[in-house]
Structure 1
């Protein structure tokens, strides 16, 4: 590997960070709406500056991610049905799959639909991280950095530059995407980042063994799966009761999960850890999060709700030694002791 391809991801990250900060500075008040377009422009500009003309895979991922970002902008500004959004995301994912970026599990025609469903599902899972305390910007930066290093280890500099540019763009967007102390990217930026990360992970595992594909897909997506489960549990708790924990603590925890899975993925790429063991451990963790978190949280929420209802009912009852007459509450009286006058309706 020549020195220039090895330094291209770092150069792309620096240029993307600068371009993202410059693009978002004039519109910092509208950053939740325009962050996706700024991320797309900064990522494409940094990619062309550091690597030149991208190949077919990278060009397809960028064009489809830009279309998804435009879809998120339309959904954020106006009303857009969920079915329409899923159809457009499926068409964008189908275009990427037709260009060769797909999950090659069976080597048959089933790989296409599976790839489309996986890309759409993980894109929306990453989008939920933006609502969970604005954790997506930091998680996307960490995940993109580890994917870039893994691509360099696997000898694919073109795919290494793409997540590196996204990492720099997310880092440059953090200071201008703050809303109430949280780094929000908005629907447009979150869909763009999630689409690029998911397609990059699928491209790195294309044509490899089943265990390597499973590990390469599940490890980068574990933070998004954990965040989606935490968001669903927090939303259910908000519906059941008003007592919910702070969402700002989710960003450091999810960054730690992303860093751990990124290190494991790099170890798998280097051959230090078996791919089957990493895939099995990641799948078990994701299944435990998706299955146990709603049950546990729903049980605790139900117990807290029953306890609060029981306490409210007990406080409304009279004590055993109270001799006051039980019956309807008398109407309020004025200061002189007389009942208030009746309201006469005229006309």
Structure 2
């Protein structure tokens, strides 16, 4: 294989940035759904142009990521079942694993299924970042840049070119993350670049507006970026120690995991888009990228870094689940008092009679037994006078 020059990652990043910036301007105005396809094309052209004779693993990752991007485009244009989507993503991940990009945790045949599940899970987690106030482009830019630096430190220039090309393409897409004359955001209804809006402040997929003035890259771009980042991180850690593998997988994925937790809590609370999610997640990506470089240089122990990262993700997800799901106000004020009443205030031996009485009362059935029957007087309001008494005779 032809040796790759040292400035090749920087060259690939610059080419991808220019291609994405020049290609997204007409695409945004004409067909916003093709944003992800444009992002994928810019990344692929920059990678192949900078590498010359490309690495077979890079070609496999780009081919599988292109298939995933096409899947996202189909899901954006029309309806696509979740099972079909997961099957196609699993097939694409399996093809990459067969080409040598896999997670080497056990050194046995279990590494293949674990690699497929990890790639599919993290790809969809990155896809949720696009729905979280349009945070995908900025997070992918920071994560890709740090992965490129880590790949250069570890002696993998081809992976550094791929990560730098993706970071450059996402950087070129950042100026199009805000509406500039093609949409409105006044009132509760918002109209995005696609010309369609929705009341209540929620935008549509594929380049349509969201609250906070951000425009999403669409499922195709988000799935492509997540697939490339996950496969790059997995290939960088292949064949190394268990601590290095765990740290190399968890550090680039921490921002996506935290973003998925934020998105899930927002859906439970039925709240609007999180406007401050993108800066916070960019800060997390920068911190984890710096920690990854420190691990690659040997300045920080890999096992300790992986344990701290896993504990941080588990603590955040547990806090989110406890606060926004288990202790949600709707759950506290509706379900929990009813359970408390049934557990502590119902007399033993009369649960069946009490429930049957409640069912008869709620269904409007006539009472049985010794209960008085007759016409129930119609209640009068507090200010209405009594009916006049008519005397006959």
TM-score over 0.5 for the pair = yes
1:275 and 2:302 matched: yes
Determine the structure 2 residue equivalent to 1:27: 27
Q: CA deviation at 1:80?
A: 0.5
* Higher helix proportion (structure 1 or 2): 1
Q: What is aligned with 1:336?
A: none
Q: How big is the shift at 1:328?
A: 5.5
Aligned to 1:191: 223
Q: Deviations over 1:184-223 (max 9, x none)?
A: 1100000000000000000000000000000000000000
Q: Deviations over 1:203-253 (max 9, x none)?
A: 000000000000000000000000000100111011xxxxx3651100000
Partner of 1:289: 316
Aligned positions of 1:73-112 closer than 5 A: 73-112=73-112
Aligned to 1:227: 259
Separation (CA, whole Å) in 2 of partners of 1:138 and 1:304: 35
Residue 232 of structure 2: aligned partner: 200
Aligned partner of 1:255 among 278, 282, 286: 282
| 1:215 lines up with 2:222 in the alignment | no
Distance 1:31 1:140 in 2: 23
How big is each residue's C-alpha offset from its partner over 1:133-162, in whole Å with a ceiling of 9 and x where there is no partner? 000000000000000000000011000000
Cα RMSD, aligned residues only: 2.3
Q: Name structure 2 gaps, 5 residues minimum.
A: 179-208, 335-378, 385-393
| Higher gyration radius (CA) | 2
Deviates more, 1:3-12 or 1:61-70: 3-12
Once the two structures are overlaid, the 10-residue window that deviates more, 44-53 or 133-142, is 44-53
Q: How high is the TM-score relative to the length of structure 2?
A: 0.74
Q: 1:248 to 1:327 in 2, by over 3 A?
A: same
CA change 1:54–1:329 in 2 (3 A) is farther
SS in 2 for 1:248: coil
CA distance in 2, matches of 1:37, 1:140: 16
How is 1:1-347 mapped onto 2 (pairs within 5 angstroms)? Answer: 5-29=5-29, 32-178=32-178, 179-180=209-210, 181-238=213-270, 244=271, 246-298=273-325, 301-302=328-329, 306=333, 327=380
Structure 1 pair 30–247 and aligned structure 2 pair: CA distance change class (3 A): farther
1:330 Cα shift? 10
Ranked by relative contact order (alpha carbons within 8 Å, sequence separation 6 or more), the top structure is 1
CA distance in 2, matches of 1:174, 1:34: 16
The Cα offsets for residues 292-338 of structure 1, whole Å up to 9 and x where unpaired, read as 2111223553279749xxxxxxxxxxxxxxxxxx746999xxxxxxx
In structure 2, do the counterparts of structure 1 residues 293 and 248 end up closer, same or farther at CA, with 3 Å as the change threshold?
same
Q: Residues 42-82 of structure 1, C-alpha deviation per residue, up to 9 Å, x if partnerless? A: 01111122221211110000000000000000000011100
SS state of the match for residue 5, structure 2? helix
5+ long unaligned stretches in structure 1: 239-243, 308-325, 332-347
- Structure 2 Cα separation of the partners of residues 232 and 177 of structure 1: 22
Return the offset for 1:175. Answer: 2.1
